[in-house]
Each structure stands twice: as structure tokens, then as C-alpha cells.
Structure 1
Amino acid sequence: MTTNKQDQTHLLIFAREPMLGRVKTRLAAGIGAEAALAVYRELLTHTAQAVAKAQIPATVWLAEALTLPLASNEALPEWPGLPWRVQPAADSLGARMAHAFAEAFAAGATHVAIIGTDCPGLTCAHIAQAFSLLTDHDAVLGPADDGGYYLLGLRQLQPALFENKTWSTPTVLADTLADAQRLNLRTALLPTLHDIDSVEDLARWRAG
């Protein structure tokens, strides 16, 4: 990264390869693996469009990348124009996220945010708002209505935010906010959005 203003921001995208039987497993239990894969591809497309419109430097971090025939300097079909990495084989989601944040900060970023690919309500405006809030806050969180979060933004690595969490449970957001308060971090919240993890989530999304 260079030191110009744009390159001081960096977006991390945690995603999976769109592979049958390896994405949206909770959803697949209710609608079948093929239908769940189609939903995941739809969510990938939506997220990629929001990221492209945000025009912020970004890196895709793939979980359990098993079938990629691409060289590391080739773009992924789902993420045209974006560099990608494979998430480390860490024990927890928190450790993998902390690793990605650490790499971005080490490369020269001063404002870093991470998103997943489960949130159909995410727009480029939410991403832009997160980085705007980071100009005068230490942390920014985008709450998900299931008790997790769809975005986390930081101005420096805060290891405690990634430790001692029971990931993918309704306590993640509250525990993260409690840690941020304990660390005296100036924290801002984005609008609450919906993640798509279950049949009920999907039905609510389709109903508009």
C-alpha cells in the first residue's frame, strides 16, 4: 500500500468458495444444498456489487479454499479485480479475523473494516459510513439482528475484540461491545441489518 489517503483505508471480505454442500449449511438443512448454493451465489453477487460501488481497496479472504486452480495473482470470478488470500488454519473465526486485520495494518492501512457475505441489506453507503465514522472513532460495528455483527471497523488492532467469544451465537455483538467499553474505545454503531443463515431468515428476506 502507498500512503495516499485512499490507500489508508482497506476492506477485508471474509467469504467462501461457492461450492455445493460447503456453504450455507444451516440453510441447506431446510431447503437443500443446491438451493442454498444458489442463495449464497446471490449473496456473493450482492456483496461484490456493494464493494465495487464503495471504491475502497479490498482483499477477499477465503475460508477453506479447496478447489482454486487460479494463481494467486489472478482474480476470482466472483470478485473481479480484487486480490485474494486464504484464511489461516486458525482455531477460531476470531483468530482468522485478527490475522487479516494485522496484515492490513502491517501493510500501511490506518482504517480497516471487515465484512462477510451473509447480509443482503449491506450497501456501499454502509461501507462508506463505516470508514467515515472511523475518522473520529476507534471502532465501528454493524449490528446484525441475530446478535452478531456484519461489519467491524478499527483504527488499530484490538486483540481483545477477537478473543473469548462464542462465535456464531447471539452474544457476539454484546460481548464485543463490552470489550470495547472496557478498553475505552470510542465506538459507533451502523444501522442494524439482517443476516441470512436460516430458512426463516430467507423467508423474511424474500417477503421484503
Structure 2
Amino acid sequence: MTTLLVIAKAPVPGRVKTRLTPPFTPRQAAELAEAALADTLAAVAATPAGRHVVVLDGAPGPWLPPGFEVMPQSGGDLDERLAAAFAACAGPALLIGMDTPQVTPRLLAPALDFAAHDAWFGPAADGGFWALGLAAPDPALLLGVPMSVPETGAVQYERLRASGLRTGLLPRLRDVDTAADAAEVAALAPGGRFAACHRRLSAPAPVVR
């Protein structure tokens, strides 16, 4: 059974998207995070898989659609938390984050096919990665990979290749980390919740005369 995992943090002001402040307030940053998460979960829900799982730091909220299992994130650094998420899967698994609301079922579907690949890798524009798929989830493939640094993606990709895995490449996507990222991603997917939220929060304040 193939599992589609979303690793996420509950959109609580002051705990998510802190690099968006300024220009956005902590509450606005949390609104953008919630919209990004909602778009991501909608794309995941529309992608056929045996299981749809949110690996969550925090408590579920009204943004969680039906049909998802919720798995609490483990403790430790990010590499340990990602490894633990894969360790909970008995078969092939694809893991993505919540920072690419432009993702679509069309982008995700190929990475659930492991007939010709042992792994899938989705590079991010900031040097990280937005997707990682493993036909045989092995936590050792992630443990020790330095996270949230410019070379994260390169190290993770080389780890896959050095392990002899036939690795398929997914398109490079931009994560929403900064205000510039948010504007670009909103423009890439103008019909989504994230774009609508970004337009609302970025609209000029009315002039009081």
C-alpha cells in the first residue's frame, strides 16, 4: 500500500512562517500558512494513494479535510522526524511538505509509481527538497542529512544515489519562506486558497479622507 505523507505544522501565529514577518504580522503569516496547508492537502486528497497521512506538529484544525490519518511528529531534529515518518510506513511512501501550495495531483502522481524507480526526489529552489519518495522506506537514508541549509537537497540526493537507488527527478518548486517567495508562488497558482489569501493581505489599505 502506497502512503502519501504531508509533514506539517499547525498554523498557529508566532509558530509558523516567521520569516514572513515583516511585512506580514504573525497572525497574517499564520493565515498564509493555513491557506498553503489547505491547498497542499487538497492536492494530496485528489491524488490516489492507499493512505493519506498528515504528520503533524500541533493539533488538527478545521483546515484538515476528511480522509486523512493524523500522525504526531516525533521529537528530535528534522532529519529524525522525517525518518520517523517513513519508518511508520509498511510500503512505498511519498513525503511532501506544506510550503508548496502550487503542487498539483499531476505533479504528485508520477512519484507514486515505483515500477522503474526506487526513489523520487523533488528539489526546491532554495537548495532543499519539497518531495521525497521511497519504494522501501529506510530511515537511514535521511538520518544525518543536514536540514534547512543551502546544501540540504544536494546531500539528500547524493545519499540516494550513493545507496544505489534508481532515483527519478521531479520538477523544481519554490518553497514559501519569505515575502518574495509568497508573491511568486501566489502568481504561479492564482486560483488557489493561498493566492486568494495573499491578495487579500497584500491589498493596499483604504485611504481615509
Residue of structure 1 in register with 2:96 after alignment: 115
Residue of structure 2 in register with 1:136 after alignment: 116
Deviations 1:68-105 (A, max 9, x none): 4x7xxxxx52222211021111x211111111111112
Secondary structure, counterpart of 1:31 in structure 2: coil
Distance in 1 (CA, whole Å) between partners of 2:22 and 2:74 is 27
Please point out which of 44, 49, 53 is paired with 1:51.
44
Please point out which of 6, 24, 48 is paired with 1:13.
6
**How far 1:156 sits from its partner (Å)?**
1.2
Q: TM-score, normalised by structure 2?
A: 0.83
Please point out which of 73, 82, 99 is paired with 1:87.
73
Distance in 2 (CA, whole Å) between partners of 1:98 and 1:205 is 28
User: What is the RMSD computed on CA atoms of the aligned residues?
Assistant: 1.6
8 Å Cα contact 1:114-1:151 kept in structure 2:
yes
8 Å Cα contact 2:87-2:138 kept in structure 1:
no
Q: TM-score, normalised by structure 1?
A: 0.83
Stretches of structure 1 lacking an aligned partner (at least 5 in a row):
1-7, 71-75
Please point out which of 155, 158, 173 is paired with 2:153.
173
Residue of structure 2 in register with 1:35 after alignment: 28
- Give matches, 1:98-109, under 5 Å: 98-105=83-90, 109=91
**How far 1:32 sits from its partner (Å)?**
1.7
**How far 1:116 sits from its partner (Å)?**
0.8
The question of 1:22 aligning with 2:7 is answered no
The question of 1:199 aligning with 2:209 is answered no
Secondary structure, counterpart of 2:89 in structure 1: helix
Deviations 1:140-180 (A, max 9, x none): 01111111111100011233431222211221110011111
Counterpart residue identity of residue 129, structure 2: Y
Deviations 1:45-66 (A, max 9, x none): 1111101111322111111x2x
The question of 1:127 aligning with 2:108 is answered yes
Stretches of structure 2 lacking an aligned partner (at least 5 in a row):
189-209
Identity %: 35
**How far 1:207 sits from its partner (Å)?**
4.2
Distance in 1 (CA, whole Å) between partners of 2:69 and 2:162 is 35
Moved more, 22-31 or 147-156: 22-31
* Count of residues paired in the alignment: 186
